[in-house]
């Protein structure tokens, strides 16, 4: 069995994440038992939710345990199997964590899933045709419930979730507006991802200024908003929401360093009679097959063309993760492990 490099959570962060919070170790991979498979990971997914899991406080799920492998989605190849369900060479997606290999109990429901890479690249199963894509689908379809001709807005527009949101929203006949940071990202959002317009939040020092820009680009107001950021961005959007608008709250990356992120004018939720709903996509596994079918078709047809930021080697994961939390990535953040 191969030697396996792993990254553990060594210390919980106080404020911003630091490299010292992680520890790189090398261990011997245990021999397989009946019903288990050995997976060699090709790509590791880095996602903002991991920051919340590093804290010890109350959350929607148990915190990441100290001294254990960091949680994370992975895609790779089965290289040894003692399960009738998988054979060597199968391409699979799972939650293998920040490590080069994982031993997986194939009988555990949802632990490992075969994927077809004929029309969809393997790495896309961690982004557009994976958890981020399904996140965009659930927030748009099940919470926002768009209607043709309405205006949809998403923050972090060029990330894995925002990219999928654009394709899904345009497929439903909606005016689709992105919010992203920097001219390059905004240009990519319009020219490649198909957004009608993308607003650069970095040009605005406060919510009032950003809200004015949104008013210019959303002259009929905002009917649906997918929130990944919080803070100033959410304050700006709330002032532009139409009556009975819907907000799908997926993430609050502005507060992932531990600082509170208060709303400046929460009364707008009442004034505009808004529906604001937070959700965790892993609690809605029943919709994944439907969502993945549509997302896969959008990729195969070229209507969803996500971009990836790829760090090389497991040792690069902490730095790439810290960059992700500061918006330094351009598209889906991955770590290439092979």
Is there a contact between 229 and 252 (Cβ–Cβ < 8 Å)? yes
**Separation of alpha carbons 5 and 26, rounded Å:** 4
Q: SS3 of 77, please?
A: strand
Average pLDDT over residues 158-170: 96
Position 58 pLDDT exceeds 80: no
What CATH number matches the domain at 131-282, 2.40.10.220, 3.30.70.1350, 3.40.50.720, 3.40.50.2300?
Answer: 3.40.50.720
pLDDT for the residue numbered 59: 72
Residue 257 has pLDDT above 90, yes or no: no
Q: Region 185-200: what's the mean pLDDT?
A: 97
Residue 153 near residue 136, CB atoms below 8 Å: no
Query: DSSP strand E in the chain: where?
Result: 3-9, 22-28, 36-45, 74-81, 91-94, 101-105, 112-114, 151-155, 175-180, 197-200, 222-227, 241-249, 275-278, 308-312, 332-336
Residue-wise pLDDT for 64-92, tens only, equals 999 999 999 999 999 999 999 999 999 99
- CATH 3.90.180.10 boundaries in the chain: 3-127+307-336
- How far is Cα 101 from Cα 99, in angstroms, rounded to an integer? 6
For the purposes of burial, counting CB atoms within 10 Å of the CB of 34, is it exposed (0-12), middle (13-18) or buried (19 or more)?
exposed
Q: In degrees, to the nearest 5, what angle opens at C-alpha 107 toward C-alphas 99 and 291?
A: 75
CATH classification for the domain delimited by 3-127+307-336, as one of 3.90.180.10, 3.40.50.800, 3.40.50.180, 2.170.190.11: 3.90.180.10
Res 260: pLDDT: 78
Q: How far is CA 119 from CA 91, 97, 126, 295, in A?
A: 13, 26, 15, 12
Confidence of residue 52 (pLDDT cuts 50, 70, 90): confident
State yes or no: pLDDT of 320 exceeds 90. Answer: yes
In angstroms, the CA 213 to CA 239 distance is: 12
User: If we measure between CA atoms, which residue out of 186, 144, 181 comes closest to residue 165?
Assistant: 144
Q: What is the pTM of this model?
A: 0.90
Percent of the chain with pLDDT over 90: 88
Q: Where in the sequence of the chain do the CATH 3.40.50.720 domains occur?
A: 131-282
Position 73 scores a pLDDT of: 97
**CB-based contacts of 216: which residues, under 8 Å, 6+ apart?**
none
Quick check: 43 and 76 in contact, CB under 8 A? Answer: yes
CA 288 from centroid of its chain's CA atoms: 15
Q: Does the CA dihedral 59-60-63-69 come out positive or negative?
A: negative
12-33 tens-digit pLDDT: 998 899 999 999 999 999 999 9
């Amino acid at each position: 069995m191969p030697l396996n490099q792993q990254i553990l959570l060594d210390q919980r962060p106080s404020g911003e994440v630091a490299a010292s919070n992680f520890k790189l170790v090398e261990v011997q991979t245990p021999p397989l038992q009946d019903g288990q498979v050995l997976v060699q990971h090709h790509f590791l997914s880095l996602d903002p939710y991991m920051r919340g899991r590093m804290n010890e406080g109350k959350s929607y799920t148990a915190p990441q345990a100290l001294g254990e492998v960091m949680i994370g989605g992975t895609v790779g190849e089965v290289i040894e199997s003692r399960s009738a369900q998988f054979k060597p060479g199968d391409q699979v997606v799972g939650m293998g964590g920040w490590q080069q290999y994982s031993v997986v109990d194939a009988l555990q429901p949802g632990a490992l899933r075969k994927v077809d890479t004929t029309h969809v690249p393997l790495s896309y199963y961690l982004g557009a045709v994976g958890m981020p894509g399904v996140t965009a689908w659930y927030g748009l379809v099940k919470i926002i419930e768009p209607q043709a001709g309405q205006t949809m807005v998403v923050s972090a527009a060029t990330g894995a979730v925002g990219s999928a949101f654009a394709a899904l929203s345009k497929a439903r006949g909606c005016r689709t507006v992105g919010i992203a940071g920097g001219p390059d990202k905004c240009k990519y959002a319009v020219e490649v991802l198909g957004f009608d317009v993308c607003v650069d939040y970095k040009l605005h020092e406060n919510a009032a200024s950003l809200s004015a820009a949104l008013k210019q680009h959303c002259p009929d107001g905002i009917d649906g908003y997918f929130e990944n950021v919080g803070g100033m961005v959410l304050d700006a959007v709330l002032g532009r929401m139409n009556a009975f608008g819907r907000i799908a709250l997926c993430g609050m990356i502005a507060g992932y360093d531990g600082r509170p992120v208060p709303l400046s004018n929460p009364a707008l939720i009442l004034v505009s009679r808004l529906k604001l709903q937070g959700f965790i996509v892993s609690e809605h596994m029943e919709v994944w097959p439907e969502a993945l079918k549509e997302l896969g078709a959008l990729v195969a047809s070229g209507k969803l063309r996500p971009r990836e930021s790829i760090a090389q080697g497991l040792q690069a994961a902490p730095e790439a993760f810290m960059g992700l939390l500061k918006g330094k990535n351009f598209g889906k953040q991955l770590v290439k492990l092979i």
